[in-house]
Every structure is written in C-alpha cells, then in structure tokens.
Structure 1
Amino acid sequence: VLAGIERRRKLLDAPIIEGVTSDECCKVRGMITSTLPDAEINLDTFHFVKRYTDSLAGGKKNACRGAIAKDITESVIELRANKRDGVLTKYWPKEEQVARLSAAWAKWSVHKHLWQASAAKVHEDQLNHVKNGCLARARNDIASDGSRIESSHKGWNSLMRSHASGLEMLTALGHDFVLRRNIRIASDLGESSPFAASTYGCHHVMLVDDIARKWNGICSRRASAIHALPMLQAVDSGESFGLAWTEYTSLAPAIKKELADTFVFEVDADYQDGIEFLDSRRLAPIFQAPAIPRVSATPQPRMTASATPQPRSTMQPSVTTGPPAPTYHLTRSERLYKRATGADPAALKFNDEEYFAFANFRVEHQLRTHEMTPAKIVKFTRQFNATLRAGSVHKDPRAILSMLLTLEEKVLERLHTGDYICGSGTDTFWKKQCEGFTITSAAKAGTETKGRKPAVCRRCERLMYPFGKGGQGNHSRDCCSDGAPQKLKDAVPWPQPDRIFINGKRFDASAFFNALATLDGMLNSGTEKPLEYERFWDMVSSRVIIADGKAYFKLFSDLEVIASQTHVVQVVDSQNVLCLGPTPVQPVSHSS
C-alpha cells in the first residue's frame, strides 16, 4: 500500500510525505520508513488515551473516567482542533508533554481503587512513547490525528453487516465504499484539487470525468471562450483494487498450484552430495503456478490435461495436484475460494458442535500451543478428525492450531477477569477449560502486568510468553521454532524443515537444496510428506520464476545468505535467486 502511495506521489510530483500516524508507532516504524524514509512516525492520541481508560477499574462505569481522559489528553495537546473555525490541533513540545503526563499520573495514581493492577505498566509504556517523541508533531499546520482510520474500520464492518453478499458483490461494494470515502475526504480539504471540487462530493467519478471530457471536446471544436472543465488526472502507479494473490494465504496453507510447464532441476556443483539429479517427473508438482496469473519473467500458457505432471511412482502423492473437483454444495464465493486456494472452506472453520467438541478434546489431551511440534499437530488433527460425525469435513492442521490458540487466549481472558459465565448462564464450560491449564499462572501474570491481550505469534499460532517474562520455553522475539522470521515482507508458511532459516536472519542454501532432495525422494517413493515438507512445498512453489528457459527460486530480500554460500546466488531481473535448472523443451505427458 505505501509503495503504491509513494509511486503515485512521485508521478504527481507532490511534496514528500512528512508524517504517518499509527496506533503501533514503534512497531511499524521500520516497515514504514523503508518505503517512506522522510516520514515521521507518530502515535495517535485516540489510542494513547484509550490505553489509560482501558486500565481503569470498572471500565466505562468508572465515575472518574471522563476527568482522567481529559487530563491525559491535555497533557499532550495544547489546543484542540475546531473544524468550524478552521483550527488544527496543536501539540505541546516533547519535553512539556513528559512533564505534564507525569504530573497527571501523579495526580490520579494515588487513588488505587480507580485502577487495575496493570495500570502502572501501561503508564510506563505510554511515557516511553512520549519520551521518544511519538506524541509530538514536527508540524502543527498539517492534520495528523483524528478518527478517519477508526471510522474506516467501522465502515467496513457496517458494509459487511448491512449487505450480506459473496466475494464478487463485496468487491464491488468495497470499491464503491472506498471511492465515496476518498471523494468526501478530498472535497473536505481546504485546498482540494479542481477536479475533486467539481464532483461536489459525488462519487460517480468516471461519469463526472466523461462529462468534462465531452464538454471540453465541444468547446475546443467550436473555439469557444468558455472555460474548460477540470478532468481526472490519470496516474499509472501500478496499483489495483480488488481480490489479489498474496505471497502466502495464511488461512489456506496447502495451496495447490498448476504450472504450464514442468522443470528439470539441477543443483549447483557444490551441493551434488545432496542431489545427484532431479527428474522433472518427480519434482515438477512442487513448482505449480496458481490458477490466478502471477508475474514471472516469461508469460506462461494455461495448463492442459495432457501437461499435468505426474510422479514416476505408481503410488499417488499425499497432496493431490491439479484443480479440485466441482463442489456444488458450496456457495459461489466458497467455490471461488476453493478453486483459488485448493482448500475446502469448511476445513478451515468450526461450527458450534465442532467448537465444543474440540474444546473438550483440548482439555482431554491437555493440548497447549507452545508444545505443538509439526508431528504432534498432524497426530492430534487426525485424532480429532476421527471423532467427527460421518459426513463432516476433516479439519486442516492450521485450523486446529488456530482454534487451539483462540481457546488459550479466551482462557487467559477468563482467568484475568474471573468471569466464567458463558452464554447459557452457567460457569461449567469455562471452569472446565481453565482447570489444569498449568502455564496460566505465569501467562496470567504477564497479562495483568501489561493490561493487554497476551502476545501471540500469528505465524506459528502460539502464545509467545506462556512462562512469563524471561521464562525458558518462551517463543523467540525474532523467529519461530523453525528459524524463519516471525515477520517478513514475503511471508513464509510455518513450519519449514530445519536449518533452512537461521535465527530469523540468515538463509542456508545448502539446507534448502537438501530439503529439496528429501522432498524429491518422498514424491518418488509416494511416501506421505510430513507437515514441514507440505509447507516447504507451498513456499517453494510460490517463489519460482522463469527466465531464459530456466527455473529460479527467488530469495528473500530481508535475509542474508550464509557467507560461504554466496557464490551460488545469481541475479535475475534485479532479484537474487538460486538456479534450479533449465525447463524441458516438451512438457511431461499426463499419460504413462
């Protein structure tokens, strides 16, 4: 998104972007400045104040809530905005903010009964933001705060609630919603563009532009002295609106892809011990292109039945290749989703009966996210699927792990609040879920200290600090258990085979080729692939590019290749890649 904004700014020769306001200023600063290096990253006042009010005992029912919010707000804001008079918000300098916030906290913190146990830690965190200058503003003549982002979220929620629709209709409604919102904001600006002003708030932009072009054409043909109407300035920034492929679809990890051609894969001479020769009939299914076209070095023709790659063995691979069969019991949106991802939507969600069944299954087997290895996930997924009634869709391992994390978060919340009453008015269900959860003492202490939801890793779906601060067995801050970065521009599906990723910072090409050889052997023998090799399949297939008749694996820009292996790295289209070998002249035939 930011890259598109920056490209559009340069094409329009607009001033540089000087500031970005976020509710996670320090967390996203690096990602934003990598695209917008001149931008100052600030914390918005709404979330800053809300973190204090959320730490009050009794929540919104606290009698002093309004007075406390007022004092906290005035500690960072010198003058509030007044839209009627055209006055923008004016902020105190950083040093003044620190002094005023400390005074406001000293005033109210003495009343212990007003605060939750987490309030002191919340104040410490927010004071650090103020000391870092996150609440100060370099320029007060630019509106840098407000509720536009929050109201945008509210608008999307209202859109989905008010218009029950599928993916196609929601895409159209979303396009209209964004356009109306952008036009309204542009019209409200003090110095709106001539074209935005000419729309008078109407979001039928193409109609207004077409009328202006026709009018201007008539005026030019008649050499009239009438002023021309402003027209929409087209900017080819390379952006698009609507459904698009991502590097990795977290809700559908087992993405099946189809490729027009199959490849013969060869390994660099330094790694011949790992792989002697990779036959196209055996490894071709790994490198299948998605049904929705992707950008590659050369255009690829559509897959035909005769070109579908097959393993050399007569045994079928554990993951089917090719498009899924039509499923008429699904809605149009679900069929579109299944066609695009290869995953049955029902395998990724739980109905009420399945939810309670899994909750009891979790207690019975004492499942905990921090103990889940790939082998255990597969094992317990099979066990749970065996308990489902006949006709139920078997759950995907990712869905199992995601639901397990969801239940753990809810258990911690119940333990934190002491509220075990469920919708039926009884406490039996949640007390059963909370009993025997041995890690909760440390994890619960962590939530009480911070006053926020427990930190979780959305990549590997587990609590990050189940044993409290500094506890042994906690999730690393930099990487997951497979060594891959927790956060990366190009997402990597979890889990991956060992040693390919090291400490979330380096990439081991030797381990990569060894994993490729292992996967080749599994496909050749028809043996079932472990979960980490299923995800390895997903990662590799999503990063193959074709150039000059060769197949390449696109390396990660944020990761360094081990120094002793950099000689195997090549550059294709300004991207660092590993050569996987030439593509065959003829595709592999479907028939034996």
Structure 2
Amino acid sequence: LQRYCHTQSTDEIAEILLAIRGRYQELGVPDPEMIIVDNCCHVRQRITKVFPNTHIGLDIYHFMKRYLSAVAGGTKNSCYAAVAHDITLSVLKERAAESKTNIAVYRSKEEQAELLESAYQKWNRKGVWNTTGASVHAEQMKHVAKGCLTRTRQDVRSDGSRIEGSHKGWNSLQRSFASGLEVMTALGHDFVLRRNVRVGMSCNTNTPEASTLPLDFLISTDGSHHIQLRNHIATTYNDLIKRQQSRRGTSSISIPFQPQLCSAEMPEKFGLVYSNHASTFGGLFSFKKEDEEMELLEQIEMSEMEMEMGDSLLLLGKYKVAITKSEAKTVNIDSTETPKPSSSSTLTLISEKVTHVSVSFEFIHVSIESQIW
C-alpha cells in the first residue's frame, strides 16, 4: 500500500483504509489483526476508527533507530553496533535471520520493558548516550507499556524489512525514470503487481494468512505478473468445459476447472485519486451537496412560474379571490374584513399589495378574477 499524499495529515490515511475495508467486506475477509507502522501512536486513532479491533504496532527498525540517534558520536562511536544489537534482542526473542522459519519472534511487553531498562542502564554507565538519551528512553518506554512492540501473530512477518524494501523500490522508480504522471502511474502499477505476486508466491500454505490469499490462482501463474491474461485463459477454459458438459448425449467429462481470480467490484482507482482532505484544505470548508438534476429543473420551473404570477399581479389594481368547494364564496381582498377560509384551505397574503397567493386545498377549485383600474 503506497500513496503520495498532498499533506502529512492522518485524515488521508483514513481515506485509504475506508476503501480497503470496503474490499474486505465485499470479499468476506475479516479485518486485519494488526497493522505495523513507524509512528504508531500518531496514527492509531485514525486507523482504529476504520478497523476498531486491529492492533497497531511499531516497526522495530524505527524503534531501534530512535535509540541509535541518542548515541554520542553517532556511527563513529565504537559501541554503535553493540547498542543496536542489545536494543533489538530486548524486543525480539529470535531474529528473522536466525529463525528456521525466517520470521522474527517477539517478546511480551513485560519482558521488553525489563530488558530495555537493563540495556539502557548498561550503556548509560559507560557514557554512550548523549544529552537526549534520557528523554528518548522515557518516550520509548511509553510505547513498550502500551504494547506497541508486541505482536498478535507470531507466524507473520511484521518487522521493518518489508516496509523499508517497499520504500527503496519507490525511490528507485523516481530516480531511474524521468517520467510524467501517466508513465509513473504505469510503472507504479507494475511495481505493486510484481511485488504482490512475489509475496503471495512465497507465502507458506500452512499459515492462517494463506486462507485469505488466492494461492491456487497465484500458483497457476508460475510467478508471472500477467494476471489479466492468465485469468482470461482460465475463464475461457472453464467455459469450454461447461459447454461440453451441458450438451445432451455426451458423457460427463471429469476435467478439473482452472482456478480463477476472485475480484471485488469496488470503486477504487490506481493512479491519481480524489482526496477529500486536500480538496477541502484540511476540512476548512465543505462542498454543498446539490439535489438531483430533475429536482433542480422542477425548482427552476416553479420559481419561473411564481415570478410570472408576481409580475401579473402587480398589474392588477383590484382583484378578487374566489374559493369554490360546493358553493362559490367571494373574498374581497381590499376590504378590511379578515377572510375565513375553510378548514381544508389556506389563504396567505403578503404585504398590502398582494404579490403572492398560495392556497393549499383538497379538491378545491381556486380562481382569480381581476379588474383593471
């Protein structure tokens, strides 16, 4: 998932997640159990607004980098690599490179808090931290206490390698190709598609996450990113089998169907998309939602009729309004007597010179008689 945002507001993150939630609902897939980001507490509120039951975790790479930024002398310090190693092992039981499954195993937040405090005090006694070390450590311990460094699933890769690998890929596209928006959109589409196919092909079929992926279809592609072509071939092949089976007098054919891609018909768009947050300048104003075209035309016609009636009434010096139900009753508007309309009719007069007459009635005939002075 990647998006070039006009701003760094978390509202634009929510716009993306709303579209993803719609796709999940269309496919009948449960909400993600966890989402790993590099600024967990900054975006947690917006993410949980869309996925309330999802755990928001902090990427261990960025967590480690925050501690390393407080090392006196930076990379020139001889203890720089040792500090990074201790911070990492305080969070992880086993690193991905050392694991048989190539998946890192995370500790509980109680273990992490104890080991991180021990590692910080160890290097503090050796004078490794600069003046910002104490504040950085206190801030990171808050994340540990909230459980940002824990994982709800230990069978899924949730470290920073995928995030940073995606960032490097996007950076290489921008630096290698001097292109406009259209070419960049095509390059980005191809990059995302190839990466998704590669991730799906390398997924372990025995893990729970495999149930939400079209593994049978991905295996049939043999790693090719020509998804639409492969799906068209499978659809045509399956249609031929169905036609053959539907013919009378032919023996049933026990030929297996080819796996097809299950797509969700969602109003999503790859490329240039509309951002409600950017178009309203951060929600400073909102666009008025106009009525439908037919309702607008009816309103225009009614207003034109009222204007014509108003102009005609201005030419009248003396006029009478006759409200007829069973017997005609004439009301002289110029008289001081207040008219008493029936219960099923309402007569409204505006100002001394009548410019508008509105009558609500039930099967009542209303006529206007005029006399020009």
Q: TM-score interval w.r.t. the shorter chain? A: 0.5 to 0.7
Identify which of 8, 11, 22 aligns with 2:23.
8
3-state SS of paired residue (1:8): helix
1:168, distance to aligned residue in structure 2 (A): 1.1
* Equivalent position amino acid for 1:216 in 2: N
Aligned to 1:145: 159
1:213 aligns with 2:213: no
1:110, distance to aligned residue in structure 2 (A): 1.9
TM-score by length of 2: 0.67
3-state SS of paired residue (1:244): coil
1:248, distance to aligned residue in structure 2 (A): 5.0
C-alpha distance in 1, partners of 2:65/2:299? 57
Identify which of 538, 541, 545 aligns with 2:289.
545
C-alpha distance in 1, partners of 2:229/2:141? 51
Aligned to 1:555: none
3-state SS of paired residue (2:289): strand
1:235 aligns with 2:261: no
Residues 583/125 of structure 1: CA separation in 2 closer, same or farther (3 Å cut): farther
8 A contact 2:59–2:159 mirrored in 1: yes
* Equivalent position amino acid for 1:228 in 2: F
Q: Write the deviation string for residues 165-216 of structure 1: whole angstroms up to 9, x where unpaired.
A: 0111111111111111111111111135211222222111101111111222
8 A contact 1:549–1:583 mirrored in 2: no
1:188 aligns with 2:202: yes
Aligned to 2:282: 491
* Equivalent position amino acid for 2:115 in 1: R
1:28, distance to aligned residue in structure 2 (A): 0.9
Aligned to 1:200: 222
TM-score by length of 1: 0.43
3-state SS of paired residue (2:96): coil
* Equivalent position amino acid for 2:124 in 1: S
C-alpha distance in 1, partners of 2:273/2:27? 25
Q: Write the deviation string for residues 242-266 of structure 1: whole angstroms up to 9, x where unpaired.
A: 112222548xx9xxxxxxxxxxxxx
1:67 aligns with 2:82: yes
Matched length: 271
C-alpha distance in 2, partners of 1:10/1:55? 44
C-alpha distance in 1, partners of 2:57/2:122? 26
8 A contact 1:49–1:72 mirrored in 2: yes
Aligned to 1:161: 175
C-alpha distance in 2, partners of 1:182/1:108? 41
C-alpha distance in 1, partners of 2:78/2:96? 26
Q: Write the deviation string for residues 451-487 of structure 1: whole angstroms up to 9, x where unpaired.
A: xxxxxxxxxxxxxxxxxxxxxxxxxxxxxxxxxxxxx
Aligned to 2:313: none
| Structure having greater relative contact order (Cα 8 Å, sep ≥ 6) | 1
3-state SS of paired residue (1:41): strand
State the superposition RMSD in angstroms.
2.6
C-alpha distance in 2, partners of 1:222/1:56? 72
Which deviates more, 10-19 or 179-188?
10-19
1:59, distance to aligned residue in structure 2 (A): 2.0
* Equivalent position amino acid for 1:58 in 2: G
1:107 aligns with 2:122: yes
* Correspondence list, 1:470-481, <5 A: none
8 A contact 2:94–2:104 mirrored in 1: yes
8 A contact 1:212–1:230 mirrored in 2: yes
Aligned to 2:141: 127
8 A contact 1:18–1:38 mirrored in 2: yes
Aligned to 1:173: 187
Aligned to 2:50: 35
Q: Runs of 5+ in structure 1 lacking a partner?
A: 254-489, 494-538, 552-581, 587-592
1:225, distance to aligned residue in structure 2 (A): 2.4
* Equivalent position amino acid for 1:97 in 2: Q
Residues 197/84 of structure 1: CA separation in 2 closer, same or farther (3 Å cut): farther
C-alpha distance in 2, partners of 1:546/1:106? 63
8 A contact 2:36–2:57 mirrored in 1: yes
1:57, distance to aligned residue in structure 2 (A): 2.4
8 A contact 2:123–2:129 mirrored in 1: no
1:54 aligns with 2:54: no
C-alpha distance in 2, partners of 1:89/1:491? 39
8 A contact 1:94–1:133 mirrored in 2: yes
1:226, distance to aligned residue in structure 2 (A): 2.5
C-alpha distance in 2, partners of 1:130/1:43? 9
Aligned to 1:26: 41
Decide which structure has the larger Cα Rg and report it.
2
C-alpha distance in 2, partners of 1:214/1:108? 66
C-alpha distance in 2, partners of 1:546/1:585? 17
C-alpha distance in 2, partners of 1:245/1:68? 45
1:77 aligns with 2:86: no
